[in-house]
Amino acid sequence: MREITYAAAIGEALREEMERDESVFVIGEDIGSVREADDLFAAFRERRAWQTPISEAGFTGLAVGAAAAGLRPVVEIMYCDFLGVCMDQVCNQAAKLSLMSGGAYKAPMVIKTPAGCGTREGGHHSQSLEAWLIHTPGLKVVMPSTPYDAKGLMKSAIRDDWPVVFIQHRLLHPLAGEVPDEEYTVPLGKGSVRKEGTDITLVAWSYAAIKAQEAAKRLEGEISVEVVDPRSLVPFDLETVLASVRKTGRLLVVHEASERAGAGAEIVRLVVEADMGALKTAPRVLGSRNIPMPYSPPLEDAVIPQVHDITRTIREMAG
């Protein structure tokens, strides 16, 4: 099996889906000359690859209308932070279209956007905003952490009849991994056990899943950590998480987004309501501090959970 990067896997998924289905088109920012590696602009520029000005509200609204008319747009938003500019189109229009029309209209569209920190870009270009999105009925939210999942989930997202927000951490873009040559998809709502263990369940997604696996590796021989990557937050694979918690009796959720009212708190709620008796200790969430992301590299690193923070918390919970 060949190895390609996370970014190349997403580009490959887009090309294959556009070749397979003429109703798929891409529109938004960073599609043209800055993304030549994807070949999308060169191959589909005449009819199905549209480079736009910085105008998120405009081109996202256009995509909602196109989806309602039967097309399958993939909207490229340069930074996840810019979703704030088009939240009406995403949350009030795309998310509600099918629900409020009694199913007469659908919004089969993908909103694709890089997120996360680590590239030292400050408070307007470094946020992890998945909590905003999972709070909105009608949206699906996926956050892959490997090249294999990035390609398979993108293909599933494009084929889905509901609006899907595809969030890709920019530090994952150069990550290389095995991706099959043949056709495959990864279903939305199916998690993956990245590492088996018996002492504690560690749930993490996107780039936090990479840190979680490194923390589990450092604790080998001391504490047996099971790492679960849900891959998508809506739909969420509660059964895989529950099966792990029933085995280990402990739950720690790690994410890069703000700890307050984040996805981690929601996962703890789901587990406690489903089977509180499975827990030997109080579940915990390790997220970022509740402040805007600093430009300063040392301060940025101090705001979000690092591998040593994860290992320290696991030792506290297992002790």
**Where in the sequence numbering do the catalytic residues fall?**
56, 125
CA–CA separation, 37 vs 239, rounded Å? 38
Q: Name the burial class of residue 76, with classes exposed (0-12), middle (13-18) and buried (19+) by CB atoms within 10 angstroms of its CB.
A: buried
Q: Would you call 229 helix, strand, or coil by DSSP?
A: strand
From 126, 135, 116, 141, select the one nearest 230 (Cα to Cα): 141
What is the DSSP-derived secondary structure letter of residue 113?
Answer: E
Q: Would you call 164 helix, strand, or coil by DSSP?
A: strand
How many other CB atoms are found less than 10 A from the CB of residue 91? 19
Which residues are bridge partners to 25 per DSSP?
73
CA–CA separation, 217 vs 74, rounded Å? 37
Q: Name the burial class of residue 319, with classes exposed (0-12), middle (13-18) and buried (19+) by CB atoms within 10 angstroms of its CB.
A: exposed
